[in-house]
Amino acid sequence: MTQQAAGGTPRNVPDGDDLALLMRCYGYRVTRAGTMTGDPTPPTPAELAEADRRGWRPRHTEQLSARAFITRAVAAAQALRRDDVAAGFIAGVGGSAPRGRQTLISYAWAIHLPQALEESAPALPDCGLDDPVEIDVADKLVRLALGSVWNELPEHYLPDLEAAACHGLPKPTAEDTSRFRDLLAIIAAQPPEITPGALEKEIARRKVIPRSDKYQRYGILQALAEAGVMPNPDLAPSLDRHVSRAEVHRAQALAKGAPRSDIVPPLANWRGAMGIDRQRLQALFGVSL
């Protein structure tokens, strides 16, 4: 499913000239703030042909059975080290490599699927996939390069996982780690009643996550919740075990306040009083406050 480069290796997240070309093909551009927005100027036939020549196949939707998708996602996740996934996330939050933001969520979703498959056999587990799965792989790789984070769309996770497994994840700089620690300090210092939505606004005001928009900041907070670093009383972290869609829906019903489509469990169930799980933070990221 993931497009193959020479030798059958899954494509990496694009950069340089390839990224610029694919952004034209998909109608994306980068703002002065470093975030992604739409480009109203359509790509030329020559640009689309050049992307095809380079093997990217832009605007091409591929199809895979849910079982085959799960098999490949599990294989890719098992090829990754949790420490490398955590380090890549810090690099993504810090801004040196926005590509690193998504993989923590992708990895947490995939790594416990083998046990879920055993328990649900012969049916597939309740993991949020349609069957068959349809995806424009090049588009997802471009958006990863630009820092997108998908918190409830597992059909987007395979290109991320296979690129990470085959090509590695970024390493954080000292500045990335400092910014990551600043983010966590902001979260830990919030008043007890603050909601995830209000927290995102405070993070935006403090400009602690460079090259990020509102939805990318929500995704980063969701990853911290999926890892259990931002705890909640209603839903287990997906980094600990397989969490079914039915469990997520039940947790959504328990979340305080009006439901929002852009903030989902477990993040939706966090409040400022729950703060940061410092033990988990240290164990997963090697960072203390």
pLDDT digits (tens, 9 = 90+) for 225-249: 999 999 999 999 999 999 999 999 9
Mean pLDDT for all residues in the chain: 94
- CB atoms closer than 10 angstroms to residue 234: 18
Which residue, among 224, 212, 213, has the nearest Cα to 95 in the 3D structure? 212
Which residue, among 153, 112, 143, 130, has the nearest Cα to 64 in the 3D structure? 130
- The Cα-based distances of 134 to 131, 224, 242 in angstroms read 9, 28, 23
- Which whole number is the average pLDDT over 46-54? 96
Q: What percent of the chain stands above pLDDT 70?
A: 96
Which residue, among 215, 221, 220, 195, has the nearest Cα to 262 in the 3D structure? 215
Q: pTM for the complete prediction?
A: 0.95
- Which whole number is the average pLDDT over 139-164? 94
Is a pLDDT exceeding 90 seen at residue 196? yes
